[in-house]
Amino acid sequence: MKKLIILLLFISTSAAQAQLKYKRELNIPYYTESANMKDDYIAKQCRLDIYYPKNKKSFATIVWFHGGGLTGGGKEIPQALMDKGYAVIGVGYRLSPMAKAPAYIEDAAAAVAWAFKRIAQYGGDPGQIYLSGHSAGGYLAMMITLDKKYLAKYEIDANLVAGLIPFSGQCITHFTVRNERGIKDTQPVIDEYSPLFWVRADAPPMLLITGDAEKELLGRYEENAYMLRMMKLAGHRNTSLFQLQGFDHGGMAVPAFPLLLKEVAARQQQVKTLNHSE
């Protein structure tokens, strides 16, 4: 009977999603007009795309930061996240060496602040904003959530982030930040530009996902395992870690997307259950 109920819920949810219509808006600047006018590189790079359901209200939003080592890549809305009943925001940000830390972290915070302040205009729920990204993107998502000062600049409490789901994010100081300082990528550093530096008990729920420890980039799995351990020791009760066996750093995103969607759906269900019980 339980399996039948789950199957019926899946069918009804899929049918509802199939009826949704989506709209895409591109190249939206997330800094103020004055900031864009002062800096041509900000005007070019600091833009976002949004893909959202037009005929649905109070939907959740996934803010997605692209990978590329903080030196490459561009804003994207992953196909795996489209048509799932959520808004997806793909963020562009400044890249090294044209910009140096903390510029790209500040960009990530500005884009998330835009989402908190604007998503209701699209029909979304500002209380259901999830942050994710692959590699450098996962690093940015962790930095602006764990180090609260970046969102505090916009009078946003980072604890309002509904969930943090980084894909193979760097948990020590990012290797590009180290490179900017002349430190080699095999020299571990944990400082203010490291998510591990900011472990805290009151952070939002966090699902860490990496590829296979033996196939990942440098010590990426071990960094995330250490993050898991230190978050627990700090008193955080809602951090978990998935290691995707057999997948390398670049390939792990494909099997990670269903885990991201499952996490968002589970968090939404918890919110609904809590609202019904009040």
Q: How many CA atoms lie within 13 A of 151 on its CB side?
A: 23
pTM above threshold 0.85: yes
One-character DSSP codes across 243-266? EETT--TTTTHHHHHHHHHHHHHH
Count CB-CB contacts under 10 A for residue 51. Answer: 21
Tell me phi and psi for residue 263, to 5 degrees: -65, -45
Q: How deeply is 200 buried, as exposed, middle or buried, from its count of CB atoms within 10 A (0-12, 13-18, 19+)?
A: middle
Q: Does 12 map to a domain?
A: no
pLDDT along the chain (278 residues), means of 10: 48 63 98 89 97 96 98 98 98 98 98 98 98 98 98 98 98 98 97 98 98 97 98 98 98 98 94 70
Beta bridge mates, 90: 49, 64
Q: How far apart are CA 128 and CA 145, in angstroms?
A: 14
Q: Look at residue 278 in the predicted model and tell me its pLDDT.
A: 62
Q: Does 6 map to a domain?
A: no
Q: Which residues contact 70 (CB under 8 A, 6 or more apart)?
A: 95, 96, 104, 136, 139, 174, 176, 177
* Number of domains composing the chain: 1
For residue 178, the enclosing domain spans 22-277
Q: Does 13 map to a domain?
A: no
Tell me phi and psi for residue 91, to 5 degrees: -110, 130
| CA Rg value for the chain | 18
Residue type, 177: V
Residue type, 278: E
Tell me phi and psi for residue 223, to 5 degrees: -60, -45
Q: How far apart are CA 190 and CA 195, in angstroms?
A: 8
Q: Does 15 map to a domain?
A: no
> E strands, the chain, where?
22-29, 47-53, 59-65, 87-91, 124-134, 163-167, 206-211, 239-244
Question: Using N-to-C axis directions, what is the helix angle for 136-146 and 103-118, rounded to 10°?
Answer: 70
To the nearest 10°, report the CA torsion of 146, 108, 85, 121.
Answer: 110
Q: Does 4 map to a domain?
A: no
Q: Does 16 map to a domain?
A: no
Q: Does 10 map to a domain?
A: no
- Region of 175 on the Ramachandran plot (φ > 0 left; ψ -120 to 50 alpha; else beta): alpha
Tell me phi and psi for residue 154, to 5 degrees: -105, 15
CATH of the domain at 148: 3.40.50.1820
* Bond preceding residue 102 cis, omega within 30 of 0: yes
Count CB-CB contacts under 10 A for residue 269. Answer: 10
Q: Does 177 map to a domain?
A: yes
